[in-house]
Structure 1
Amino acid sequence: MVTMQDVANCAGVSKATVSRVLNGKDLVRADLKARVEKAIEETGYRPNLLAQQMAMQKTSFIGFAMSSELYDGPYFASMMSGAATFINQHNHQLIFADSKYSALQEREAIDFLIRMRCAGVVVYPEYLSDQALDEMVESSPVPLYILNRELTRNRQNSVWVDHARAAVEMVDYLLAQGHRDIAFISGKTGSRSGSCRLAAWRDGMQRHGAAPDETLLRHGDWSMESGYRATRELLEQSVAFSAILAANDDMALGAIKALTEAGIRVPERVSVAGFDNSRIGNYVSPALTTMEIPVVQMVQSAIGHILGDTSCESSPLSTRLVIRESVAPLR
């Protein structure tokens, strides 16, 4: 393996001079800098970026901790793409740590990113409690920003949306179209946003004098396949419903496929709506009515706070009802 000393020998300079060139110091003469750069190219030397930044007591790394259980689907693809694009624009590098399948592993992933001397860490928590996250924020030597949670003690380190209010708005919209027999496909058990959406379905039906029919409730896992299976089950049990509200767009698209295969036209016979406003929802037929969750703005706001951008939008971030073709008034 080529070392810094090899570069120094090739360039005919000291190891300290090579180090100053690599660290961008202005104390090196132009001719010596050119010799060092040429030697680096000739030897194929690759500097240890982490060691360099530790020596300089600064870092251009931004950490991101998230469970691999959440990777699948356009929602989190958009989040990671938005994070990488924003970080690149600010000349930083994204370091990702998998928080895996438990609170302990989630904590270990965050600690790993802190030990890597990241300038800050963004966390999309799945397992740690609010109290545990509050304690980590307060003890961390670098800024920690928590996505999709409103912390109790460190609200300023939370970037979140009001899922309950957004879900109520969606349910009220369907009810305003005359729908009373609304089936609901929930997300994975334990999800806070999913729980908010399920509660809004129940509460919204009761507020409009239409008690929620638990036979119209099916549980999914956020995937298109689970939305498809849930809708097949609803059709097989022969209960009447005029609309399906899925807790995310992927499950809503699965529901549309199941309805189409059964010869049921959307929205002429059954309306379908979802949450997230994923890109694919605008390109299916009929285009999907959905509640936009600003996932890219969420992660970019967290990164902006880490980088000292005081213009970041404060939480809760705004959601938006996106009305397209998959919902129609009840005939």
Structure 2
Amino acid sequence: MSVTIKDIAKLANVSHTTVSRALNDSPLIKAETKRKIVDLAEQLNYIPDYNARSLVMQKSYTVGVFFTSITTGTSSSFFADVIRGVNSVISENYNLFVRGIDNYKDFHSINKKRFDGIILMSQSEVDNAFVYHVMQSGIPFVVLNRQVEDPSIINIVPNDKVGAYEAVSYLIKEGHERIAMIEGIEGFRSTQVRKDGYLGALIEHRIPIRHEYLLQGSYDMESGYQALERLIELESRPTAVFCSNDDMAIGAMRAAFDHGINIPNELSIVGFDDIGFAHYMTPALTTVKRPIEQISIEGAKKILQLINEPNQPGELIFVDTELKIRDSVKKM
């Protein structure tokens, strides 16, 4: 016969409510009492009945992690960083439910009975309908990656504009003036703010903006490869290329190699994200470290706080990027 909360309560000489709170890590229980109860539960091999707990507590013990899309515009490294960050915080008492918003025709199945909290890794304003639905549903909610206008939402974002500005300013400092950009997916917030940073650096240093140097990509290696092929066909080739993410930078580096162009001696390349492969490229890729895992960790902490204390005020939190200078840029 399996051990129950009442059995633990009898042995610990406390109420079953105290045991329940202690096992749920409630701050209302003294640390010494909590430790005693947890030790007893382990000794007795207590296994919680999550179905019963869900009925009693009116909780699903599920946290949803939603992306704009898992199949379009979300690189494998970006996806892995998000899940690794969230998973490192969310305790084993919760299940993680991971899905792309574009998988849904409507959002009726997303409600308080199914989710105790939702983390949205937002990449586009297309998400706004989802944001509105979750807010109307009253589900504790945190938005990461994209700045949203509603001040009632807890919103954690990387400072992409500053990161892009610093990357392009570094290229200018190294003597480059013919600087191209391979952009991300049109309509994504990250695409626009990184372009703003690129343009801001050129304008501040009084370098003319050449529209033939602005090429649309789609955040994958293939689009970086194709864009670089178009750039090297120009009569006045750029001496440097700023790519909106590392996947496109890697694709561009491969295209340069296939066309016999030496990096960095004939062409400098800078990426954005600092994925795991960036350090191991030949040459190692200069890039902007975008702390997606750290943002996801902070988002997971916030959602747990909101689940326990739903009436917290909205907050906009910026997380700094960092320029990682490696070997893919030549000083002119």
TM-score of the two chains, using structure 1 as the length reference: 0.77
Structure 1 vs Structure 2: percent identity of aligned residues? 29
Cα-Cα RMSD: 2.9
* Partner Cα distance (1:138, 1:234) in 2: 44
* Partner Cα distance (2:281, 2:53) in 1: 49
| Structure 2 residue 268 is the aligned partner of structure 1 residue 271 | yes
* Partner Cα distance (1:274, 1:326) in 2: 10
Instruction: Kindly provide the CA deviation profile for residues 136-160 of structure 1, in whole angstroms up to 9, marking residues without a partner as x.
Output: 4643433100111223232651111
Change in 2 beyond 3 A, CA 1:294/1:29: same
Give 1:91 shift.
4.0
Give 1:265 shift.
1.1
* Partner Cα distance (2:152, 2:331) in 1: 40
| Structure 2 residue 54 is the aligned partner of structure 1 residue 57 | no
Give 1:81 shift.
2.3
TM-score of the two chains, using structure 2 as the length reference: 0.77
Matched ranges for 1:58-77 at <5 A: 58-66=59-67, 67-69=69-71, 70-77=73-80
Instruction: Kindly provide the CA deviation profile for residues 227-273 of structure 1, in whole angstroms up to 9, marking residues without a partner as x.
Output: 01111111123432110110000000111111111111111111100
| Structure 2 residue 290 is the aligned partner of structure 1 residue 293 | yes
* Partner Cα distance (2:158, 2:265) in 1: 32
What is the aligned counterpart of 2:239 among 224, 238, 242? Answer: 242
Checking the alignment, whether the CA contact within 8 Å between 2:112 and 2:139 is kept in structure 1 is no
Give SS of 1:53's match.
Answer: helix
The match for 1:232 is 229
The match for 2:38 is none
Change in 2 beyond 3 A, CA 1:26/1:146: farther
Give 1:78 shift.
1.6
| Structure 2 residue 255 is the aligned partner of structure 1 residue 258 | yes
The match for 2:326 is 324
Aligned residue identity for 1:208 = H
What is the aligned counterpart of 2:84 among 81, 84, 91? Answer: 81
Give 1:50 shift.
5.1
Matched ranges for 1:72-221 at <5 A: 72-88=75-91, 91-100=93-102, 105=105, 108=107, 112-126=109-123, 128=125, 132=129, 135-136=132-133, 138-154=135-151, 156-221=153-218
Instruction: Kindly provide the CA deviation profile for residues 291-330 of structure 1, in whole angstroms up to 9, marking residues without a partner as x.
Output: 11110111111110122299xx971011111111111211
Give SS of 2:65's match.
Answer: strand
Change in 2 beyond 3 A, CA 1:59/1:26: farther
* Partner Cα distance (2:321, 2:178) in 1: 25
Give 1:133 shift.
6.2
Q: Which runs of 5+ in 1 are unaligned?
A: 1-10, 12-17, 31-46
Checking the alignment, whether the CA contact within 8 Å between 1:118 and 1:142 is kept in structure 2 is yes
Give 1:84 shift.
2.2
* Partner Cα distance (1:272, 1:176) in 2: 14
Aligned residue identity for 2:89 = F
Aligned residue identity for 1:78 = D
Give 1:59 shift.
4.1
* Partner Cα distance (1:114, 1:98) in 2: 16
Checking the alignment, whether the CA contact within 8 Å between 2:75 and 2:247 is kept in structure 1 is no
Checking the alignment, whether the CA contact within 8 Å between 2:81 and 2:293 is kept in structure 1 is yes
Aligned residue identity for 1:276 = D
Number of aligned residues: 288
Aligned residue identity for 1:54 = L
Checking the alignment, whether the CA contact within 8 Å between 1:54 and 1:117 is kept in structure 2 is no
